[in-house]
């Protein structure tokens, strides 16, 4: 798979000719709804086996081969050129498909309004082939240890049909928000814990979950050790039942990081007890905050670098958003919330307002600004093929277990093509 960034004068015909593919293949891979109107700065995935590399100033066969993990003799042979050939800038070289690492891929799916929409179910069905786990969000713990289940509809059948597993997401959500009071009860009251674990085990076996995933957020800081003790108790019980246990972790950059979201999450304890963890490495740019990248890679990298001091790499799933936000400027604290947009919707907005898409190389994220019909300025940050590929490169570099998406429902076809191109996805029978 190749990534091409649209520049002035590009057309689907010229791009297809450059990479030796067809216009139809480009339209299908990128699900282009206006193929005759590309946006400057828009990234496209090119559906080819392997990729092309265009020689840059200072390149040599040796340096290019090293970059792609192959010998310069093999690179010369594949491209039918002498090993001592002078390389002209702009020369197109073919790079064959490289060996792909195995990873675990999870995606949360969140029904809203107490029902599973047809669009959400279709999204799960369309993307389950790329997943190790499908995670319906969420089983809410009640104060007596009982559980309130989400609607599951056909999620189990969808997972089974695609050799994926179901993840049982258990939370301390109460009245639409994570509850510190409820969390305190769960991690400190033994009778509630015993009832809860009985209910979790019964539900997991009845429905067919293979992993129990605790997403307890905004716990009181003083409950840090109590939460870790609860996880050890839960792990013992779940292991006896043949179930895996995973947890969601706030994106910390140090053990002493302060804040209600962070302090009760002990990375070292979770890394020891859990089978794997999900780092919630997103929402730097969030709907109620100022405009910025949702998961800027420089900030994500800080979290991962710290996590690796406490948790083995083969237990870490990198959290990744599948959406962006459209903020109305200027930002006012407590003011209008940003609107969530899919990558496809973001591109359509840029095209509608005839503005180019820019790319922040520090955050590794695309963005643009526009003015609406009422004279309000907007700033949009979202994800594209480049920003996702940067995360995949980091997963490979650091040997992480895999990736966890928040959440299915918004269209981002490029992500799934690149995921398949970069990795072999482990499945239930793997």
Residues noted as catalytic: 217
Nearest CA to 273 out of 308, 234, 305 is that of: 234
Looking only at the bridges linking them, the beta strands covering 358-360 and 365-371 are: antiparallel
Structure tokens at 143: 């104060």
Q: 59: helix, coil or strand?
A: coil
Distance CA 94, CA 260 (A): 51
Nearest CA to 126 out of 426, 423, 409 is that of: 409
Distance CA 17, CA 30 (A): 17
**CA dist list (Å): 41 to 22, 32, 293, 357, 359:** 21, 15, 16, 5, 8
Cα 193 from chain centroid? 31
Cite the beta strand spans of 312-427 per DSSP E: 316-321, 324-328, 339-341, 358-360, 365-371, 377-381, 402-406, 424-425
Check: CB of residue 251 under 8 Å from CB of residue 303: yes
Distance CA 424, CA 430 (A): 11
Location of structure tokens 């790329």: 130
Which DSSP symbol is given to 313? G
Nearest CA to 322 out of 412, 403, 394, 420 is that of: 412
Backbone angles phi, psi at 327, to 5 degrees: -95, 140
Distance CA 272, CA 228 (A): 10
Check: CB of residue 132 under 8 Å from CB of residue 162: no
**CA dist list (Å): 171 to 103, 136, 140:** 25, 12, 5
Q: 224: helix, coil or strand?
A: helix
């Amino acid at each position: 798979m190749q990534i091409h960034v649209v520049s002035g004068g590009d057309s689907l015909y010229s791009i297809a000719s450059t990479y030796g593919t067809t216009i139809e293949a480009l339209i299908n891979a990128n699900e282009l709804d206006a193929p005759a109107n590309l946006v400057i700065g828009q990234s496209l995935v090119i559906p080819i086996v392997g990729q092309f590399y265009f020689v840059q100033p200072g390149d040599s066969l040796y340096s290019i081969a090293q970059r792609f993990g192959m010998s310069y003799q093999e690179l010369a042979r594949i491209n039918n050129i002498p090993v001592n050939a002078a390389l002209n800038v702009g020369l197109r070289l073919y790079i064959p498909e490289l060996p792909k690492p195995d990873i675990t891929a999870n995606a949360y799916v969140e029904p809203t309004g107490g029902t599973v929409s047809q669009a959400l179910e279709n999204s799960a069905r369309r993307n389950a082939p790329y997943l190790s786990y499908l995670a319906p969000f969420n089983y809410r713990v009640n104060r007596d240890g009982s559980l309130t289940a989400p609607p599951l509809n056909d999620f189990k059948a969808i997972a089974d049909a695609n050799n994926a597993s179901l993840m049982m997401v258990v939370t301390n959500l109460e009245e639409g928000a994570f509850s510190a009071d409820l969390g305190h009860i769960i991690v400190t009251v033994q009778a509630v814990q015993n009832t809860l674990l009985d209910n979790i085990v019964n539900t997991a076996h009845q429905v067919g979950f293979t992993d129990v995933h605790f997403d307890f957020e905004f716990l009181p800081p003083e409950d840090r050790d109590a939460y870790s003790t609860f996880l050890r108790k839960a792990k013992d019980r779940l292991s006896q039942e043949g179930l895996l246990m995973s947890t969601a972790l706030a994106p910390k950059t140090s053990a002493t990081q302060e804040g209600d979201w962070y302090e009760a999450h002990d990375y070292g304890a979770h890394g020891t007890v859990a089978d794997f963890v999900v780092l919630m490495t997103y929402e730097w740019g969030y709907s109620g905050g100022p405009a910025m990248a949702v998961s800027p890679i420089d900030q994500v990298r800080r979290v991962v670098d710290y996590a690796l001091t406490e948790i083995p790499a083969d237990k870490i799933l990198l959290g990744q958003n599948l959406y962006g936000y459209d903020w109305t400027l200027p930002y006012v604290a407590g003011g209008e919330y940003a609107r969530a947009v899919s990558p496809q919707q973001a591109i359509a907005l840029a095209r509608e307002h005839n503005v180019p898409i820019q790319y922040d190389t520090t955050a590794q994220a695309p963005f643009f600004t526009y003015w609406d019909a009422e004279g309000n300025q907007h700033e949009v940050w979202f994800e594209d093929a480049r920003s996702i590929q940067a995360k995949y490169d980091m997963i490979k570099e650091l040997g992480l277990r895999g990736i966890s998406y928040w959440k299915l429902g918004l269209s981002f076809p490029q992500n799934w093509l690149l995921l398949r191109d970069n990795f072999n996805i482990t499945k239930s029978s793997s």
